[in-house]
């Protein structure tokens, strides 16, 4: 797996102004939960988990974290804490905003759905975006979309027209996903982050292809779900929609993703599950993030820390949800990527 990404060119900016921030992040990285600790958590009961986590970032919210009804709050608080920390470390405004963009797109999507289907969606909004959720609500209520950033306005307009053409709510999601990924490819963002999203786009497109085929959805509509801007051209996925699942990975034999596609498809065919593919995708993305390990300067190690922390929160969620619902340890271990 590791050698796959050596084929990708390294596009780091190595900005020396981040010397302090990188030092700070390197110090913080030490407290990230490592593989051994996750393995211990997997084997532990809830009480034992408390003891294992006592000297980690979660120590201050252990009682909340180990409670089935409040653990999500603890994870969300941790996420918010990290976002605030990262905001304080990144001085380039566009990069800082970049990390909050996901939530702006999410809130806009939810508000648009609420508007179209006449639902109160206030509880669904996430206050982690660049835009204030109350202001966004007001904008959607008065339909003053022009007050929003240009990219978001375009996404909203596209989503409205694609919904009214098809009468399918999923078109709103597809349009917003596409708009978000298109936004990532706008110049001015760190190439490291852009490449991360290009990798994610390819891996998501491949998974979408498999999902579309497994669900036996209308082949002529597959174009709607494809995300733009990946390394693999969208046309390549479109051509494969009619092919048998087991023959699809072979088409990508010259691409760096081939082992992931091959293994993920094999597992899907034999076990009718996406677990392996999704775990391998996470592993590949982690390997990509780890390329910043030896960088001394630049915004990249800070973004990498943010992404690693998000992955840690995700792993914590996998373990906690699994433990609270009695999922077998082996299944959790298969899905956990450290």
Residues 6+ apart with CB under 8 A from 99: 83, 86, 87, 90, 303, 306
Q: Should residue 32 be labelled a site residue for other proteins when binding is judged by CB under 8 A? A: no
Q: Should residue 69 be labelled a site residue for other proteins when binding is judged by CB under 8 A? A: no
Stretch that binds other proteins, among 29-37, 150-158, 248-256, 311-319 (CB under 8 A): 311-319
Query: Across-strand partners of 189?
Result: 187
Q: Should residue 117 be labelled a site residue for other proteins when binding is judged by CB under 8 A? A: yes
Stretch that binds other proteins, among 11-19, 47-55, 230-238, 315-323 (CB under 8 A): 315-323
Binding mask 199-238 for other proteins (x = CB under 8 A): -----x--xx-xx--xx-x-------x-x-----------
The whole-angstrom distance between residue 90's C-alpha and the CA centroid of its chain comes to: 20
Rounded to whole angstroms, the Cα distance separating 152 from 47 reads 45
Residues 6+ apart with CB under 8 A from 312: 32, 33
Query: Across-strand partners of 187?
Result: 189
Q: Closest Cα partner for 106 from 71, 64, 152, 157?
A: 152
Rank residues 124 and 297 by Cβ distance to other proteins and give the closer one: 124
Q: Should residue 127 be labelled a site residue for other proteins when binding is judged by CB under 8 A? A: no
Shortest distance, position 184 Cβ to other proteins, whole Å? 11
Rounded to whole angstroms, the Cα distance separating 310 from 307 reads 5
Binding mask 74-113 for other proteins (x = CB under 8 A): --x-----------------------------x--xx--x
Exposure string (b/e) for 20-51, b if CB count within 10 Å is 16 or more? ebbebbeebeeeebeeeebeebbebeeeebbe
Cβ atoms of 240 and 209 closer than 8 Å: yes
Shortest distance, position 228 Cβ to other proteins, whole Å? 12
Rule CB under 8 A: choose which of 29, 173, 234, 263 binds other proteins.
Answer: 173
Rank residues 168 and 290 by Cβ distance to other proteins and give the closer one: 168
Rule CB under 8 A: choose which of 13, 52, 85, 126 binds other proteins.
Answer: 126
Per the structure block, which two tokens stand in for 56?
Answer: 């980690």
Per the structure block, which two tokens stand in for 194?
Answer: 């852009």
Q: Can you give the binding site for other proteins, defined by CB under 8 A?
A: 72, 76, 106, 109-110, 113, 117, 119, 121, 124, 126, 168-170, 173-174, 176-177, 180-181, 204, 207-208, 210-211, 214-215, 217, 225, 227, 272-275, 277-278, 314, 317-318, 320-322, 325, 327, 331-332, 335
């Amino acid at each position: 797996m590791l050698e796959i990404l050596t084929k990708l060119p390294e596009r780091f900016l190595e900005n020396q102004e981040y010397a302090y921030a990188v030092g700070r992040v390197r110090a913080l990285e030490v407290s990230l939960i490592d593989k051994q600790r996750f393995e211990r958590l997997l084997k532990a009961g809830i009480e034992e988990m408390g003891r294992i986590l006592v000297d980690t970032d979660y120590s201050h919210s252990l009682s909340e974290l180990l409670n089935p009804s409040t653990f999500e709050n603890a994870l969300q608080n941790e996420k918010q804490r990290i976002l605030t920390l990262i905001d304080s470390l990144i001085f380039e405004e566009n990069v800082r905003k970049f990390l909050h963009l996901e939530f702006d797109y999410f809130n806009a999507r939810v508000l648009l759905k609420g508007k179209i289907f006449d639902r109160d969606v206030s509880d669904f909004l996430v206050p982690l975006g660049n835009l204030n959720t109350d202001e966004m609500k007001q904008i959607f209520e008065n339909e003053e979309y022009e007050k929003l950033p240009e990219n978001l306005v375009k996404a909203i307009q596209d989503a409205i027209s694609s919904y009214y053409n098809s009468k399918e709510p999923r078109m709103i999601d597809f349009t917003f996903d596409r708009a978000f990924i298109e936004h990532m490819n706008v110049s001015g963002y760190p190439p490291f982050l852009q490449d991360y999203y290009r990798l994610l786009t390819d891996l998501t497109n491949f998974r979408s292809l498999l999902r579309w085929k497994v669900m036996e959805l209308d082949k002529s509509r597959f174009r709607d779900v494809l995300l733009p801007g990946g390394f693999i051209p969208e046309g390549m996925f479109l051509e494969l929609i009619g092919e048998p699942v087991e023959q699809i990975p072979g088409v990508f034999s010259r691409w760096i993703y081939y082992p992931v596609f091959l293994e993920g498809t094999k597992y899907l065919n034999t076990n009718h599950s996406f677990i392996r593919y999704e775990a391998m995708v996470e592993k590949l993305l982690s390997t990509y993030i780890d390329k910043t390990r030896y960088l001394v300067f630049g915004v990249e190690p800070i973004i990498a820390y943010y992404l690693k922390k998000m992955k840690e929160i995700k792993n914590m969620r996998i373990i906690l949800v699994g433990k609270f619902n009695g999922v077998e340890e082996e299944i959790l271990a298969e899905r956990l990527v450290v």
